Amino acid sequence: MEANQRTRKADHPHSHPHHGHGHDHAAPEPGRGSDGSLPARRLRHRIGHLLRPHRHEAADKVDAAMTASREGMRTLWISLAILGATTLIQALVVALSGSVALLGDTVHNAADALTSVPLAIAFVLGRRAANRRYTYGYGRAEDLAGIVIVATIAASAALAAYVAVDRLVNPRGITHLWAVSVAALVGFAGNEWVARYRIRTGRRIGSAALVADGLHARTDGFGSLAVLLGAAGAALGVPAADPVVGLLITLAILYVLAAAAREVCRRLMDAVDPALVDAAEHALAQVDGVLDTGRVRLRWIGHTLRAEADIVVDPRLTVVRAHALALEAEHALIHAIPRLAAVTVHTDHARPDPTAPDPHAALAHHAPAPAETVEQTG
């Protein structure tokens, strides 16, 4: 009979000896040799637990998610403050000089700052607990925020292109070139700092939307440097240099738009790094008692991962031992995959070998006879 054991990290208060969960099952500890010693792989696994103990209670995962959300919110507000100040400085210089290239860069910086709003809403929603309607929680709100960010980038590209083309058709001189140059350097410094901060935090907490927002800021920074070319061209008596640089900035915006859209669409399609799947399969194969692995599936829910895995075990195992193996597999995955919040393990049986000895024959020989047998009839 097929044994189906499903374990979910958030739903099992059981414990491993080194996890603070004690499995008080009647059967002897599975996996020991005839002399009571542990196999080498199992011994290494135990030592790993001693060196890196972890807990699996739901409260721990909620705390981790809250910490990630707080870190993301802090990154957003600091970025908003930096980009807001940068945009204000550039807007004053645009009003003073009339530079269309700087105007395009200012509009893009303003759009980049405003993308903090949908991301902040997504992080706040992501803190809400799962319920009977949203059984996986609200983490996917970040993916919706990613769509808003992509749309904002596209709108800023359209506006920058329109202004640049209009200035080519209706040329106008630029004044205060020194102020334009200073504003361009301020824009580059502010955007590059924000880009590094957002990308670093986004990768640490697993937020594709925040990484996309950081890439957006990085492109803004290089766009700010391009404004210097427009100012240099105007200083040399080439008035068309300013709107041409505005068009180049538009192309840069379109480039980051493609990268951000690709990242967000992959997350919407539940794409993960294939290296994570390889790591999960390798971790399952190292569990003593797992004969083979079936399908391994991973998906992002907000900035945490969930996993589903099939393992093949000996068909003669008891339900208790199959359950213990499922927990061993769960723990192995938790150690191997970063940002893994929940695991579901399905145990399936291999075709029995009639010539192989029964691993439970010795246990049955020493087991006490049942006190009585009760037959239940309808």
CATH class in words for 270-351: alpha beta
pLDDT of residue 356: 58
pLDDT of residue 242: 75
**Every domain of the chain and the residues it spans:** 59-268, 270-351
CA 373 centroid distance within chain: 53
Tell me the one-letter amino acid at 319. Answer: V
CA 75 centroid distance within chain: 16
pLDDT over 70 percentage in the chain: 74
pLDDT of residue 354: 61
- The secondary element (H helix, E strand) that includes residue 313 is strand 304-313
3-state secondary structure of 128: coil
Residue 67's CB is within 10 A of a number of other CB atoms, namely 11
* Closest C-alpha to 104, from 28, 203, 6, 180: 180
Tell me the one-letter amino acid at 220. Answer: D
Ranking 63-72, 314-323, 363-372 by mean pLDDT, the lowest is 363-372
Question: For residue 374, is pLDDT > 50?
Answer: no
pLDDT of residue 25: 41
pLDDT of residue 164: 78
CB contact burial 110-122 (16+ within 10 A = b; e otherwise):
bbbbbbbebbbeb
Tens digit of each residue's pLDDT (9 = 90 or more) over 147-192: 988 888 888 788 778 877 877 887 776 777 788 888 888 888 888 8
CATH architecture of 59-268: Up-down Bundle (1.20)
Task: Quote the tokens at residue 190.
Answer: 């502010």
* Closest C-alpha to 160, from 112, 114, 106, 113: 106
pLDDT of residue 358: 58
CA–CA distance, 285 with 358 (Å, rounded to integer): 22
pLDDT over 90 percentage in the chain: 19
Tens digit of each residue's pLDDT (9 = 90 or more) over 194-210: 889 988 888 887 777 78
Tens digit of each residue's pLDDT (9 = 90 or more) over 261-318: 898 899 889 999 999 999 999 999 999 999 999 999 999 887 789 999 999 999 999 9
Question: For residue 115, is pLDDT > 70?
Answer: yes
pLDDT category at 372 given cuts 50, 70, 90 is very low
pLDDT of residue 359: 53
**What's the whole-number average pLDDT of the chain?**
75
Q: Per the confidence metrics, is the pTM higher than 0.75?
A: no
* 319 vs 216, higher pLDDT: 319
178-181: long-range pairs with CB below 8 Å, 24+: 179/93, 179/96, 179/97, 180/93, 180/97, 180/99, 180/102, 180/227, 180/230, 180/231, 181/227, 181/228, 181/231
Tens digit of each residue's pLDDT (9 = 90 or more) over 23-58: 444 444 444 444 444 444 444 444 344 333 343 333
